[in-house]
Amino acid sequence: MPATKLPPSRPQTNVMLSRVAHSLYWMSRYIERAENIARLLEVNLQLLLDFQGLDEAHRKEHWDSIILSTGEEKLFEEHYKVADSRSVTEFLAFDLRNPGSILACVYSARENARMIRDQISAEMWETLNELYLYLKSQNTADVWAAGPHEFFSRIKQGSHLFQGLTGATYSRSEGWEFIQFGKYLERADKTTRILDVKYHILLPNASDVGGAIDTAQWQAVLRSASALEAYRRAHVSAILPWKAAEFLIFSDSFPRSLHYCAVQIEEFLRRILGETATRPKSDAARAARRLLADLQSLTISNVIDAGLHEFLQEIQTSLDKIGEEVVQTTMFYPAESSTEEQQQQQQQQ
């Protein structure tokens, strides 16, 4: 049988590698996405407990901001009448009609892993499968009965265990580069969205800026990225809004900051595409290089003057373009996601 010919514009890799690369990339992105959604929900549920005196308007505003940050506000409005703790938890944790829910992400990560079980370690597969089975056995009522903290901790621990086992059992090959590229691309995107949550929470008047609610919200933003302790080690003083934003955007040592993720994205992208740092040829490599250069040259004052929300949107657009081009030029298949099977499972639950 003659060898399959690839389009000239694509890297000269065989179909099997493209198939494996596709599954590794999306497996990594989906598990990182599930963890970040769990962080976002857990921290914001706790924030509302800390401010039980908030009126109904502020509570609705709070949950609306979470939905807006995910970019799924239209889908939410199609299926839910009001945004509150129960409906948002259901939508972002268990609703399979939402492709970005925790259950949908873990399901998709598991499906991609299942397609390449012979390419990953047994420990990686077992961890993903156990996490999926745990999620499948839960629902919103169970979570509220047992306490949300335990549920979200289980999701985060499952993701950490999977990533730790991947680092300990996966060979440093081309597949490793796709895993890392997918992880940091997803992480950078979610850090922008965690920061954008604060933008969408509108304060009643200017006097509240720097007040107790404002400080607590910025503390929640840092906790959502597991950055609170790292921030306090870097800044002994109280939590200041511009310092918190600066840390999550420009830190070159914290592994969830935009700058740190951009360094990793640019590095692994160059390896995948076989390009040099000085003369990137592909649009994706050039975009990654521009993103990194911007984060190395800008200051938090530049960002605030231009608008934090606008800056974050530009980053999200850039990350989307980078990801789309890499998928188009190195992979031949869409992300694994059986909508029909997921819908059936949703009805059963």
Is 155 within the bounds of a domain? yes
* Residue numbers of the domain that contains 266: 15-348
Contact 73, 194 (CB under 8 A): no
* Single-letter amino acid code for the residue at 291: L
Q: How many CB atoms lie within 10 A of CB 81?
A: 7
Q: Residue 5 domain-assigned?
A: no
What is the percentage of the chain residues whose pLDDT exceeds 70?
Answer: 82
Place of tokens 């939410």: 76
Rounded to whole angstroms, the Cα distance separating 55 from 51 reads: 10
**Res. 17: pLDDT tops 60:** yes
Query: What is the predicted pLDDT for the residue at 15?
Result: 43
pLDDT score, position 63:
82
Confidence at residue 187, expressed as pLDDT on a 0 to 100 scale: 97
* C-alpha distances out from residue 29 to 143, 145, 320, 328, Å: 25, 30, 13, 16
Q: Is position 322 within any domain?
A: yes
C-beta separation of 162 from 121 below 8 A: no
Residue 10 domain flag: no
Q: Is residue 8 part of a domain?
A: no
Backbone angles phi, psi at 139, to 5 degrees: -150, 175
For residue 38, how many C-alpha atoms fall within 13 Å in the half-sphere facing its CB?
27
Residue 240 near residue 232, CB atoms below 8 Å: no
Higher local confidence (pLDDT), 328 or 332: 328
User: What is the predicted pLDDT for the residue at 19?
Assistant: 86
4 in any annotated domain? no
Cα–chain center distance at 82: 25
Separation CA 68–CA 200 (nearest Å): 7
Place of tokens 């691309």: 185
| Percent residues over pLDDT 90 in the chain | 52
Q: Specify the pLDDT at position 58.
A: 66
More confident residue, 263 or 306: 263
Q: Does residue 84 form part of some domain?
A: yes
**Separation CA 301–CA 298 (nearest Å):** 8
pLDDT at 3 (0 to 100): 44
Residue 51, class by beta-carbon neighbours within 10 Å (0-12 exposed, 13-18 middle, 19+ buried)? middle
Q: Which residues contact 16 (CB under 8 A, 6 or more apart)?
A: none
Confidence check: pLDDT of 179 > 60 = yes
Q: With beta carbons less than 8 A apart as the criterion, state whether 235 and 170 touch.
A: no
Greatest mean pLDDT among 76-85, 231-240, 254-263: 254-263
3 assigned to some structural domain? no
Distance linking the first and last C-alpha atoms of the chain: 47
Which ranges of 51-147 does DSSP label H, i.e. alpha helix?
Answer: 56-70, 73-79, 85-89, 102-115, 122-136, 140-146
Task: Indicate if the alpha-carbon torsion angle 39, 81, 59, 202 is positive or negative.
Answer: positive
Question: How high is the pLDDT of residue 178?
Answer: 95
Judge whether residue 118 has pLDDT over 50. Answer: yes
- With a cut of 50, say whether residue 216 has pLDDT above it: yes
Phi-psi region of 210 (alpha: psi -120 to 50; beta: other; left: phi over 0): left
pLDDT tens digits, 132-167: 999 999 888 888 888 888 899 999 999 999 999 999
Q: How many Å separate Cα 152 from the centre of its chain?
A: 15
Tokens of 340: 């029909």
- Tally of domains within the chain: 1
Mean pLDDT along residues 225-247: 89
Sign of CA dihedral 242, 245, 248, 250: negative
- The per-residue pLDDT for 188 is 97
Q: Between residues 289 and 7, which one has the greater pLDDT?
A: 289
